[in-house]
Amino acid sequence: MDDRTMRAVLFDRYGGPEVLYAGRVPRPEPQRGEVLVRVRAFSVNGGELAARAGRVRLLTGRRFPQRIGLDFTGEVAALGTGATGVAVGDRVWGVLPRTGFGSAAEYVAVRADRLGHIPEGVDLVDAAALPVATTAITALRDKAGLRPGERLLVRGAAGGVGNAAVQLGRAWGAEVTGLARAANLDFVRELGAQHAIDHRSAAPRDLGRFDVVLDTAGTDLRAFRGLLVPGGRMVTIAFDLARPAASLGSIAASAVHGRGRVRFFSGNPTRALFDDLAREVAAGNLRPAVDARFPLEETAAAHRALEAGGVRGKYLITVD
């Protein structure tokens, strides 16, 4: 096989999981300041499902084939000129910048400052469940300023960001309530939530009052915003894809109208945040929550499983 190419997950049209296939693309060469990583695993993220289905085609365009994959773990295979902070053979994790996908492949070239070192003792594949936890760190620590003793509500507590937020919230001394499917409530309690509630059986108005609300769904934001106590903070990492303009408009309006601003952001971690992640893992505050592993050729099955709902942590794709 030509070593100038590599396997990667592609799609030639927008659609369901069935449009995904494993094809071959040119193997990247690290440019100045970049690192070539031999990918060992990546996870399936909700944003990729929307991109594959064409729900954000104004951003992704109509040029095909397109790639998927945001986060990854692996070993450093080569260094571009001027790349610092890592060495060939290092075990690393990373997230690609917001400008595109592409980690669903055998190799990825990424700037050195977008990588972090995986702590010793963490399995290289299971570690792929954790880069998304940088979003939880940013949401709770930097955007919400969560303090010990505060009441934290995590919406989507069994998912990728949600499960990390539950673990961190408990470790940082908050009283954590997690919303999830009924079948996942025991899992949410195992993560550290003092209260786990079936999101289908409880209306927002019945949940109580909270100092911090972390939303991972992007819908019904006004109702959940109404649960904040005076001085409370709400952070969302999603917006309603069925009503994107109205949803984003509502988030923007919350900054100037009503009680409690809704803070919205998209994760974009660099080395300093990965260092914070490694410290949380080493301290025992975070562990990888892996629902299932799939080989690269079965990426479509992983997408199908995530769309079906009910994930406990992350679905991981292994790259042999």
Nearest C-alpha neighbor of 69 from the set 312, 320, 318, 263? 318
203 shares a domain with 141: yes
- What's the rounded Cα separation, in Å, for the pair 38 and 89? 9
For residues 238-251, average pLDDT: 50
What is the average pLDDT across 134-141? 97
Angle at 21 between CA 16 and CA 22, to 5 degrees: 155
Specify the CATH number for the domain of residue 115: 3.90.180.10
Given the structure tokens 């940013």, which residue do they identify?
A: 138
The pLDDT confidence band at residue 251, using thresholds 50, 70 and 90, is very low
One domain for residues 59 and 123: yes
Q: How far apart are the first and last CA of the chain?
A: 15
Residue 83 sits in the same domain as residue 140:
no
The pTM for the full model equals 0.93
Give the pLDDT confidence score for residue 98 in this predicted structure. 73
Q: What average pLDDT does this structure show over 206-233?
A: 95
Co-location of 308 and 242 in the same domain = no
Query: What is the average pLDDT score of the chain?
Result: 92
Same-domain pairing of 259 and 276? no
Overall number of domains in the chain: 2
Residues 140 and 27 both lie in one domain: no
95-114 as b/e, with b when 16 or more CB fall inside 10 Å?
Answer: bbeeeebbbbbbbbbbbbbb
- Residue-wise pLDDT for 259-271, tens only, equals 557 787 777 899 9
Percent share of the chain, pLDDT over 90: 84
pLDDT recorded at residue 230: 96
Query: pLDDT higher for 292 or 265?
Result: 292
Q: Are residues 173 and 192 in the same domain?
A: yes
**53, amino acid identity:** A
Range of the domain at 222: 133-264
User: What confidence tier does 59 reach under pLDDT thresholds 50, 70, 90?
Assistant: confident
Q: How far apart are CA 281 and CA 122, in angstroms?
A: 9
pLDDT category of residue 320 using cuts at 50, 70 and 90: confident
What does residue 153 show for φ and ψ, rounded to 5 degrees?
-110, 125
Ranges of H-type helices in 119-208: 133-137, 160-171, 185-191
Burial 151-166 (b: 16+ CB within 10 A, else e): bbbbbbbbbbbbbbbb
Residue 67: what are its φ and ψ, rounded to 5°? -110, 165
Q: What is the pLDDT of residues 64-86, one digit of tens each?
A: 999 999 999 999 999 999 999 99
Q: Are residues 37 and 144 in the same domain?
A: no
